Amino acid sequence: MADLATYAFTGIGLFFFVAGTIGLLRFPDVFSRLHALTKADNLGLGFITLGVAFQVETWREIALLALIWALTLLAAGTVSQLVARVALREQNKR
Amino acid sequence: MTLWLPFVALGVLATLAGALLRVWRGPERADRMMGAQLVGTGGVAVLVLLAPVQGWAALDVALTLALLAALAAVGFVKASSPDGAGDPEEDEPPTTDPRSASEKADG
């Protein structure tokens, strides 16, 4: 049963990862690419982390997985704001 | 399980190739930084996927990589502001700042 959940969630995670990357490549504008990158890839990482969490034996791994995903979410939110501000300033400068 | 997880990790590596394509083609510096950030996130995903196959040691590495990827973007942002202080809030660098004066000098 746990294996089935792992198959399902990692598959969904891979789908969102690929969707985020296709969005990163195909979108016309810097900010829409940033939007796709930050949201879809982190959702993909979240599903992959959830899928792997079903294979866990001890509590340490679950704590590590939750910490990884939480920190990645925080980092991605902050970093996308900063990069968008830099891109906006460079566009205004031109 | 030991076959499916590496297969999904391979898929995530394919998305890393997409990120490198964005780094190569990206018109602006911000696009290249986004590609680098995707490489960081993709690396974390690959490590998390391969962790159950090789005894969960890769989880600590994934945690470290997740933190360092954020610092790389902070480095990019701090390098792009005129006087290097990297305060995104500032509009114009203070005129008395010697650094901006020298920048005006060399055009």
What residues of chain B lie within 8 A of the CB of A21, using their CB? 15, 18-19, 38
Contact between B47 and B62 under an 8 Å Cβ cutoff? The reply is yes
Q: What is the ipTM of this complex?
A: 0.89
Q: In this predicted model, what pLDDT tens digit does every residue of A14-53 receive, in sequence order? A: 999 999 888 888 888 888 888 888 888 889 999 999 999 9
What residues of chain A lie within 8 A of the CB of B1, using their CB? 3, 6, 55
Q: Which DSSP string corresponds to chain A? A: -HHHHHHHHHHHHHHHHHHHHHHHHH-SSHHHHHHHHHHHHHHHHHHHHHHHHTT--SHHHHHHHHHHHHHHHHHHHHHHHHHHHHHHHHHHH-
What residues of chain B lie within 8 A of the CB of A17, using their CB? 11-12, 15, 42, 45
Q: What is the 3-state secondary structure (H, E, C) of chain B?
A: CCCHHHHHHHHHHHHHHHHHHHHHHCCCHHHHHHHHHHHHHHHHHHHHHHCHHHCCCHHHHHHHHHHHHHHHHHHHHHHHCCCCCCCCCCCCCCCCCHHHHHHHHCC
Nearest to B34 among A17, A33, A90 (CB): A33
CB contact under 8 A, A86 and B88: yes
More confident residue, A78 or B91: A78
Range of the domain at A17: 2-93
CB atoms within 10 A of CB A22: 14
Count of residues in chain A: 94
Nearest to A68 among B37, B66, B73 (CB): B66
CB contact under 8 A, B37 and A18: no
pLDDT classification of B23: cutoffs 50, 70, 90: confident
Task: Give the pLDDT of residue B96.
Answer: 47
How far apart are the C-alpha atoms of A22 and A72, rounded to whole Å?
Answer: 20
Is the pLDDT at B57 greater than 60? The verdict is yes
Nearest to A18 among B4, B15, B21 (CB): B15
What residues of chain A lie within 8 A of the CB of B19, using their CB? 21, 24
- Specify the number of domains making up chain A: 1
